[in-house]
Amino acid sequence: MSSAELPPFTPTEFTHTQPPNPEWTFGQSIDATPAGREWAAGEAAGWTVVDTTAEDAARCLYAIFVSGIVPRPVAFVSSISEDGVENLAPFSWFNQVAPNPPLISFSCLTSSQQEKDTSRNIKATKGFTVNIISEPWVEQANAASIDAPRGVSEWPITGLTRAPSIHVKAPRVKESAFSMECELYQALDIPHPTAGGTATVLVLGRVLAIHMRNDVVDPARGTVLPDKLRPVGRLGGVSYARVSGAYALARPAWKDLSEEEKTLARGE
């Protein structure tokens, strides 16, 4: 189906609901609900097992990874070269690492054995910003994924606005309601297993400052509200995901278990 045949984008209200099985108890199997039974029935179709060490596996691994590990948060990374050329690019091989020290990570895959401008810039100038993309400006951010020649900044074609950083030279994206200023903690060049050279660069960044727009922050808790931030995620291919709802599942505490539940957990 072409994009012209798809229904138009419609804003949705963020909804909090009950979890899929609010009556679930410890040890209850998946077939306790109609949805669970339907899910389990899907196994009848069998399994596909991919041997990642096989000679021809590399051709399909990227597509499998990005379609199976979903949804993925997107790091919209602003960096600057030693010559002062500003770079802007989205990376969905991204996540948090630890709160103390405050670390994030993302990886830059090489293209035709050529290292990305982003990782080259960060290695050289040691600073960058990570900006979370929100739904109202996802097209602008996506424009920065263009394969621009080295030395050409993506900023002008995005229509986005530079905002000054406090600790690093690279600017923030003003439209981003959640941005992090980072300094390079470590850059790990991961070699290609057969072709030699660098396959990807894993960047660890220490977060020096976090910029949060007040209208997306819970004033009572100081945390970010997903319904206000409206972040986007990546799926497989060129698809993006939207965050339109949530349900809460409290983490179990051993001290709250009954003796019967503890016996079950011990396998007795």
Residue in this structure with the two tokens 């030693």, named with its chain if needed: 82
Q: Which residues of the chain have pLDDT under 70?
A: 1, 112
Residue 114 confidence (pLDDT)? 84
- 3-state DSSP assignment of residue 223: coil
Give, as one character, the DSSP assignment of residue 150. T
Pairing of strands 245-247, 15-17: parallel
Residue 5 confidence (pLDDT)? 85
- Which is nearest to 154 in space by CA: 170, 143, 167, 163? 143
Instruction: Copy the structure tokens of residue 117.
Output: 């401008």
Cis peptide before 101 (omega within 30 of 0): yes
Instruction: Copy the structure tokens of residue 232.
Output: 């986007």
Between CA 88 and CA 79 the distance in angstroms is: 7
Give, as one character, the DSSP assignment of residue 36. H
Residue 209 confidence (pLDDT)? 99
Residue 193 confidence (pLDDT)? 85
Q: Please give the mean pLDDT across all residues of the chain.
A: 95
Task: Tell me the HSE value of 93 on the side-chain side, using a 13 A CA sphere.
Answer: 13
Q: Check: CATH 1.10.1740.10 for 57-266? A: no
- Which is nearest to 184 in space by CA: 132, 133, 129, 144? 129
Residue 2 confidence (pLDDT)? 72
Between CA 122 and CA 82 the distance in angstroms is: 9
Residue 1 confidence (pLDDT)? 64
- Residue 226 identity (one-letter amino acid): P
Give the distance, in angstroms, between the CA of residue 134 and the centroid of all CA atoms in the same chain. Answer: 12
Residue 192 confidence (pLDDT)? 87
Residue ranges of the domains in the chain?
57-266
